[in-house]
Amino acid sequence: MPLGFSWITYDITSDLPGNWQADIRAVAAEADFRDFPCTPVLSREAGNIAHIARGRVYADRVRENLPWLYRFYRGYFLQLAREACAEHVMPALDDRYGVVLNVQRGTEMRFECHVDSNPLTGLLFCTDQPTGAGGELVFGHDPGASDVGAVERECSVIRPHAGHLVFFEGRKYPHYARPLAAESDVRLVAVMNFYTESCPESTRPPELNRHLFGSP
């Protein structure tokens, strides 16, 4: 019996700085909001979807404006990632993509359906999305799913809880974040790339960096 998709959740609410949510909200308000073109190699969007609207706070802004988050990525969160993973886990050495924020505002934004290139991903949910509010993280059970509809047909759904840190292996199962139900709603998540010895940072596709940063 092959093992299906699984993830691990740590409730770290009490370990975060007292003002962490307000801190994240303030930085996220200055995110880069626009239509992002679909990602080469990793996208699992239908052919007629060329771009998807969302917000992104880049890693350099996170490091500068949320120094506690940058430190946690390389410290406490790394320690938890190592507990969650059978292999030795390492953070990214390249500061362009270690930890970033994804931001959704209103009902038009969502996060692209894709697979990961890194072997372990950590997400710190920074907002609560109650039942019916949308914004769920959805993993398709079919590794061959090549669009949102196929992912939704059979899937695992993770509802964002502020202060929950989840780890998963996202290379096999396509995943995306659903749009929000209310125009006034916001979804904030910190996204962290981790690597292992069997899948080190050097395996990151150079076309991905060219797409995101204009250089390998």
**Minimum separation from the CB atom of position 1 to Fe ion (A):** 26
Q: Which is nearer to Fe ion, 134 or 170 (CB)?
A: 170
The full DSSP string for 189-216 is EEEEEEEESSS-GGGS-HHHHHHHHS--
Q: Which is nearer to Fe ion, 134 or 174 (CB)?
A: 174
Q: Which is nearer to Fe ion, 23 or 204 (CB)?
A: 204
Find the helix packing angle between 76-84 and 67-74, rounded to 10°. Answer: 40
Q: What angle do CA 98, 167, 36 make, to 5 degrees?
A: 50
**Minimum separation from the CB atom of position 117 to Fe ion (A):** 9
Q: Applying CB under 5 A, which residues contact Fe ion? A: 116, 170
**Minimum separation from the CB atom of position 120 to Fe ion (A):** 11
Contact between 57 and 101 under an 8 Å Cβ cutoff? The reply is yes
Looking only at the bridges linking them, the beta strands covering 186-196 and 175-177 are unpaired
**Minimum separation from the CB atom of position 191 to Fe ion (A):** 7
> Is the backbone of residue 134 left (phi > 0), alpha (psi -120 to 50) or beta?
left
Q: Which is nearer to Fe ion, 23 or 169 (CB)?
A: 169
Q: Per DSSP, what are the bridge partners of residue 8?
A: 167
**Minimum separation from the CB atom of position 170 to Fe ion (A):** 4
Contact between 70 and 176 under an 8 Å Cβ cutoff? The reply is no
Q: Which is nearer to Fe ion, 25 or 114 (CB)?
A: 114
